[in-house]
Structure 1
Amino acid sequence: MARQWLVLLRALPSFLKYVILGIGITIVVYLSGERVASETNANAQAQALTQAGHVQLGRGEATAALQSWQAARKLYIQAKNEEGVFGSSINQILALQALGLYPRACNILVETLNLETWVCQSSVSLDRQQEERLIQLVQKQPSSPLNNIGLCSIGNVLRSMGKLRESEIVLHQAHKNSSTRQKENGDVLLSLANTERALYVQALNKYQLVEEPVAKGLALQTADLKLRQALANYQKIAHESATVNLVLQARLNYLSLLLDINRYYALNTPNINASTLQKLQQETQPFILPSIGQLLATSFDYLPVIDSVYARLNLVNSLIEAYQIANLNKAALKEKIDLRLQAETLAKIALQIAKNINNIRAKSYALKALGEITEILDKPGRSRTHLVAALRSAQSVQAWDIAYQIQQQLGMFYNRVGDLPNAIKYYKAAIASLDRLRSNSTLNSLDNQFLFREKIEPIYKTYIKLLLSSPSPDFQEIIQINSKKQTVEIENFLQCAKIERGAVDENSTRSSTAYIYIIDLDERVEAIVNTPERTFHAYTIDPKSVKANVDNLILNLQRNKTPYTKPYINEKSVTLYSQELYQLLISPIEKYLSQAKTLVFALDSPFQNVPMALLYDGKKYLIEKYSISNTLGLQLQKPQMIATNNLKAIVAGVSEKSPSYRELDTIENLSSLPEVISEINKIKASVQVVELLNQQFTTERLQQKVGTSNFPIVHLTTHGQFSSDPDRTLLLAWDRAIDLQEVGKIVQSRLQNQLDALELLVLSACQTAKGDRRSVLGLAGVSVQSGARSTLATLWFVDAKSTARLMGEFYRNLKLGKPKAEALQQAQLSLMQDPNYRHPFYWSGFLLLGSWL
């Protein structure tokens, strides 16, 4: 959030004033005191309020600044001063950004610039029509300094919201409009470079998280392109701009980006395309020390006071990162540059200035930086003192984005010195601060988006490890924290605000249900079972063994390419790995499951693609002993059974090749699905159906039916793909693909008409993306977007005839009053009893997610 603070600059001769903000540049306008004699009293009052707002913001009083600018805007309206009204609207954005209220800031800018409100709405990504429309809207903007200030401001706000493609479109147009005005062009170019840098970070983190080969390749190409664009633009500003502020900001950003490349390469060497990223690292590292030397020789004193604080702290962070790169630190010492001492000196100056102007937030950042430096200098006592003071300051202004990082550092400190109670205390507090961020959407701002694996997940994992190391582990707390981690992962995947989920009350569910949690803690895998008697048992598993068997099992299961090929791997090739997994995951707890009839698995993402029904004890598959469901640990809806007198379904299917087939190019040999008609007919035998087949199954008609029919079940039988890349999670209607965003819109139409949430969403004939070990994350995303109590889906291209039969049996069992998990189990067993369908390929690829009742 330091990047989002803005201060008053020295007066410029014109009525325009440009205010520069931390790392990211935001351009704002306000009226100076220079006014002709005919100035009204309202104008004079508005000017005073405008200047007061900047002083307040400089002190960290964002709410007061917002109120001053709102009052100034009213006065400018009274004085009929259009420039003042425009400037006051833009100024309000500064305070809203400082408060983390990005959507509200975006809405003000949209109104000011006469854009359309959907620009600010949360979504996974722009669709093609929206992108074309946004380009048209910004191209219509007049090429004037005032309008360009507005475009640059909304570009920065959109970037802060994580809407990077939108930000890029807007800033490209602003850059084009300002190309003949040097100062204005430099400001816009710096903002554009910051968005390009954010796109690089987004693409590189997608490369790390996504498992699908095609998506990984595209992500790496994008990362390389955006990185080079950002570096080139920072250098262009540093070499060509006549404005010292711009030059300094460009140099600071250039250095931090160079270090980011090295940091990322060092952290992720085992998981990256070494040739591409190693080349980047080798190309950029020689420029780091010269950049540091240049910045250390620069005076920050000519900057506005608060900007000088954050500029120094920006450089402090870069010096700390450079120190942690061994060969860079050695080279720096040869040139007589002590990176640690330089960082300490800068941080102390920043702290003193922050104290002088009473900016609590800046003070907290400076104390946090001093805590990190004194830790490096082997002064743990002083480090703890600085961090405790930093935390106190952050909490006093509710700066939870700073607080959780400090609490994590304090937790790490106490863990190192062996003080387990205090380590647990601070990690628990860090997660509470993250919860506060999630509640106000700030967790999904630019500072935290796309960095789940690097910044957020380790906090949850370390806290769980600390709890497990206690003499008497609190298993309820462990399960709750892991469930939060899984939920935050989905929020990060969907790039959405906090998902409101109700906790599963395990004590209130059936006494025949056991819950099994498989938790990935990197160097170990922890399994916890909550038995039907509601007792807990835990055991540790070697991660290499379990992950190797998971990978080999999934690789074998995904070898079939179409729904019509017979499985060309024999059953023993599957049971070889599924039996190993049974021994690792189930055998240690089998003695506690004697009273269980249903197993509910909460699996971390490395294991979610495994159909647990397939685990084999040498004689029987797990599905032959128990009905099985998967849950993310927390439910969107309280588990409950579908009333047998209300079995009605909207059933939509595509049996022929349709225009939408071209949109799913990642599935090989995509063919028609003639057995869809048979599947629908079998469903009709047990359920009242509204049918949408082929040309009738358009996105518009599906939304109309879902939004007006209070049917508890929606059954889609069509090609589809679940991927760990949200942009490649698609379902095919007749006319086009339905992505995650579209699923949300369809369901929202139902809820807007005050209809009940879905009881069951069935996705038949879909599959997880080939080679993607985390693709069930896409299925979880669909489940969340739909708000369904339960989701039933296929994990690979299952045989069409056997699927039609299984679905018929499933609905027949529901009609008989069986819970969903048991209804699915009995349908799977019916296939296994047929010699033609005994092979696991036919019956094990069905996954029930959510409520098992």
Structure 2
Amino acid sequence: MEKRIDQGDALSLADEARRQALTTAAEAWRAEFQRYTRRLGELFTPSARTQLVDNTENNSSRLQAKVALDPAGAVGLHYVVTDERVAIIVASPQSSFGRFSNIKRTELNRQINALRQAIVNKADTREPAQALWQALIAPVQADIEAAGGKTLVLSLTDTLRYLPFAALQNPQGRYLVEDMALSLWAQAADVTPIPSTRPWQVAALGLTQAQGGFSALPAVKGELQGIVKTDQSPQGVLPGRIALDEQFNRAQLDQALRGQSNVVHIASHFDFKPGDESRSVLLIGQGEPISLGKLAVMNFSRVEQLTLSACDTATGGGINENGAEVEGLAATVLRQQAKSVLATLWKVADDSTAKLMQDFYRQRAQDKPPSRAQALRSAQLALLRGQDLPAVQAALKSDVARGGSRSDAPSSAMATAGTAPTAIDPKRPYAHPYYWAPFVLSGSWL
């Protein structure tokens, strides 16, 4: 109704009365939320309560302001893990309110570990995926549906940062990504979500050769050629340039960050050592690998989209138990002012990663491109459903919400969600969440 007023429409007397009633209800919701945060503080020691309540209210207000910038509708979920339960704060454009999930920290950690193990082993994921959906989505499912958002913006703490939310399953076995696009909000970076200010131009850097004990990545060349359109790769979808192997050096990376391209795509190995910036390195085609510590002082402010098509680029680890230990490469470059980062939660397969990346950029090359989050969702569904991208896009138009290393080949994919590993279904070779669930978007999702 307020949007209608902003557009110059006059409300009927009945609509105006309804608007006033909703305003009064919003005031009541805020009072209830303040009572909720005080109750949340009671779960912590006295010394931690004031800071916790202040941080919770501050983060929910910031997240509420971010989701309000999405014209298609977004809902924020801020999670706070305590020993006895998990607090879930729902942020819609108009208000914030809270729910509790009665899952203990120990059980939450056990289920997260069980899901990750099942995914990495390409095994049956139903039990942990459905248990985590019940704990983390079910308490706020009605709130999400009522808000009408099409994208979930997740603010995560503690071991939740290890969790591939896309792979959570409802009791009917439907994956969360089948109903919602997903994005992460990094509190420390606090990026304001805005669409790209100009058409995408890509600086694509990649490593195909075996190096330093790491296997070759043969699909990287085709990945980059399917993204960047040049005289040598007319099948590409976006303008730009490609630097492969010996051409991929520190000077090329520096040029990509400060040059004409507003998108930087890096397809390589990232060797992550928890808690050690100096030994966590990004492999390049020539010269000394670039450490996380060096990347942490580089300027990414000109980059509207940074894609880290490598292993473990969204994970971290090793400092303390409140979540700081999981800040890795993606969080580091967001702090260095990159606007949006697409990264991974585990060691990703080479062929399927190349397909997903090409699908992601193909959508963004359209005259009226979808948001980054929606483009990623469609690319993930293309792998999950074994469909070509046009077929997935057609399916998305009718969808409604319903309540190893990069060199790995698909050796054992699940023919249908929740079944034991079987021989590859030729129609759905990448249906298992191992192939599509590790990709997470942080920063601007628009």
Query: What TM-score comes out, normalization by structure 1 length?
Result: 0.38
Distance 1:785 1:602, change over 3 A: closer
Q: Does 1:847 align with 2:440?
A: yes
Distance 1:704 1:757, change over 3 A: closer
Match of 1:654 in 2: 207
Match of 1:672 in 2: 216
Q: Does 1:583 align with 2:134?
A: yes
Q: Give 2:430's match in structure 1, choosing from 837, 841, 847.
A: 837
SS in 2 for 1:514: strand
SS in 2 for 1:788: coil
Is the 2:240–2:261 contact (alpha carbons within 8 Å) kept by the matching residues of 1? no
Is the 1:605–1:777 contact (alpha carbons within 8 Å) kept by the matching residues of 2? no
Match of 1:553 in 2: 115
Match of 2:50 in 1: 463
Is the 2:77–2:152 contact (alpha carbons within 8 Å) kept by the matching residues of 1? yes
Cα deviation 1:532-580 (Å, max 9, x = unaligned): 6535232243223222211221233345xxxxxxxxx33x2x2221110
Q: Does 1:599 align with 2:152?
A: yes
Is the 1:698–1:733 contact (alpha carbons within 8 Å) kept by the matching residues of 2? yes
Cα deviation 1:574-624 (Å, max 9, x = unaligned): 222111000001011111122121000000031101111111003310000
CA distance in structure 1 between the partners assigned to 2:335 and 2:305 by the alignment: 13
Q: Does 1:632 align with 2:186?
A: yes
Q: Give 1:520's match in structure 2, choosing from 69, 77, 81.
A: 81
Match of 1:759 in 2: 304
Higher relative contact order (CA 8 A, sep 6+): 2
Deviation at 1:460, TM superposition (A): 8.5
CA distance in structure 2 between the partners assigned to 1:725 and 1:458 by the alignment: 27
Is the 1:723–1:777 contact (alpha carbons within 8 Å) kept by the matching residues of 2? no
Deviation at 1:479, TM superposition (A): 4.0
CA distance in structure 2 between the partners assigned to 1:586 and 1:639 by the alignment: 23
Q: Does 1:478 align with 2:70?
A: no
CA distance in structure 2 between the partners assigned to 1:508 and 1:847 by the alignment: 20
CA distance in structure 2 between the partners assigned to 1:460 and 1:840 by the alignment: 41
Question: Which amino acid is 1:765 matched to?
Answer: A
The CA RMSD over aligned residues, in Å, is 3.1
Deviation at 1:631, TM superposition (A): 1.0
Is the 1:761–1:788 contact (alpha carbons within 8 Å) kept by the matching residues of 2? yes
CA distance in structure 2 between the partners assigned to 1:691 and 1:746 by the alignment: 21
Match of 1:719 in 2: 269
Q: Give 1:704's match in structure 2, choosing from 251, 255, 259.
A: 255
CA distance in structure 1 between the partners assigned to 2:326 and 2:79 by the alignment: 15
Cα deviation 1:272-324 (Å, max 9, x = unaligned): xxxxxxxxxxxxxxxxxxxxxxxxxxxxxxxxxxxxxxxxxxxxxxxxxxxxx
Q: Does 1:743 align with 2:330?
A: no
Q: Does 1:609 align with 2:154?
A: no
Match of 1:275 in 2: none
CA distance in structure 2 between the partners assigned to 1:737 and 1:813 by the alignment: 32
Cα deviation 1:213-270 (Å, max 9, x = unaligned): xxxxxxxxxxxxxxxxxxxxxxxxxxxxxxxxxxxxxxxxxxxxxxxxxxxxxxxxxx
Is the 1:724–1:777 contact (alpha carbons within 8 Å) kept by the matching residues of 2? no
CA distance in structure 2 between the partners assigned to 1:846 and 1:696 by the alignment: 27
Deviation at 1:829, TM superposition (A): 0.6
CA distance in structure 2 between the partners assigned to 1:554 and 1:525 by the alignment: 20
Q: Which moved more, 1:536-545 or 1:805-814?
A: 536-545
Is the 2:130–2:173 contact (alpha carbons within 8 Å) kept by the matching residues of 1? no
Is the 1:527–1:541 contact (alpha carbons within 8 Å) kept by the matching residues of 2? no
Match of 1:140 in 2: none
Distance 1:849 1:818, change over 3 A: same
Alignment of 1:204-353 (within 5 A): none
Is the 1:503–1:634 contact (alpha carbons within 8 Å) kept by the matching residues of 2? no
SS in 2 for 1:537: strand
Q: Does 1:818 align with 2:411?
A: no
CA distance in structure 2 between the partners assigned to 1:676 and 1:586 by the alignment: 36
Match of 1:828 in 2: 380
Is the 2:101–2:135 contact (alpha carbons within 8 Å) kept by the matching residues of 1? no
Deviation at 1:483, TM superposition (A): 9.6
Distance 1:729 1:505, change over 3 A: same
Distance 1:638 1:623, change over 3 A: same
Cα deviation 1:504-529 (Å, max 9, x = unaligned): 54434336200011112344321111
Q: Give 1:507's match in structure 2, choosing from 52, 63, 68.
A: 68
Q: Does 1:731 align with 2:282?
A: yes
Question: Which amino acid is 2:374 matched to?
Answer: E
Match of 2:344 in 1: 794
Is the 1:504–1:634 contact (alpha carbons within 8 Å) kept by the matching residues of 2? no
SS in 1 for 2:348: coil
SS in 2 for 1:838: coil
SS in 2 for 1:526: strand
Q: Give 1:681's match in structure 2, choosing from 213, 216, 225.
A: 225
Distance 1:519 1:822, change over 3 A: same
Is the 2:189–2:335 contact (alpha carbons within 8 Å) kept by the matching residues of 1? no
CA distance in structure 1 between the partners assigned to 2:140 and 2:347 by the alignment: 32
Greater fraction helix:
1
Question: Which amino acid is 1:850 matched to?
Answer: G
Structure 1 gaps, min length 5: 1-419, 428-456, 468-475, 485-501, 560-568, 663-669, 751-755
Question: Which amino acid is 1:528 matched to?
Answer: I
CA distance in structure 1 between the partners assigned to 2:174 and 2:298 by the alignment: 41
Is the 2:75–2:144 contact (alpha carbons within 8 Å) kept by the matching residues of 1? yes
Deviation at 1:782, TM superposition (A): 2.5
Distance 1:785 1:738, change over 3 A: farther
SS in 1 for 2:260: coil
The higher radius of gyration belongs to 1
Q: Does 1:642 align with 2:220?
A: no
Greater fraction strand:
2
Cα deviation 1:671-707 (Å, max 9, x = unaligned): 1101100110111222112211100111133213422
Distance 1:683 1:459, change over 3 A: farther
Is the 2:87–2:98 contact (alpha carbons within 8 Å) kept by the matching residues of 1? no
Question: Which amino acid is 2:128 matched to?
Answer: Y
CA distance in structure 2 between the partners assigned to 1:715 and 1:690 by the alignment: 10
Is the 2:296–2:333 contact (alpha carbons within 8 Å) kept by the matching residues of 1? no
CA distance in structure 1 between the partners assigned to 2:273 and 2:223 by the alignment: 25
Is the 1:763–1:793 contact (alpha carbons within 8 Å) kept by the matching residues of 2? yes
Is the 1:503–1:635 contact (alpha carbons within 8 Å) kept by the matching residues of 2? no
Work out the number of aligned pairs and report it. Answer: 346
Is the 1:650–1:711 contact (alpha carbons within 8 Å) kept by the matching residues of 2? yes
Distance 1:635 1:744, change over 3 A: closer
Is the 1:516–1:527 contact (alpha carbons within 8 Å) kept by the matching residues of 2? yes
Distance 1:621 1:460, change over 3 A: farther
Distance 1:789 1:740, change over 3 A: same
CA distance in structure 1 between the partners assigned to 2:165 and 2:311 by the alignment: 18
CA distance in structure 1 between the partners assigned to 2:58 and 2:440 by the alignment: 23
Q: Does 1:619 align with 2:173?
A: yes
Is the 2:189–2:334 contact (alpha carbons within 8 Å) kept by the matching residues of 1? no
Q: Does 1:804 align with 2:357?
A: no
SS in 2 for 1:681: helix
Alignment of 1:769-788 (within 5 A): 776-788=326-338
Q: Does 1:530 align with 2:82?
A: no
Query: What TM-score comes out, normalization by structure 2 length?
Result: 0.70
Cα deviation 1:626-666 (Å, max 9, x = unaligned): 000011235443211124x52101111110023xx25xxxx
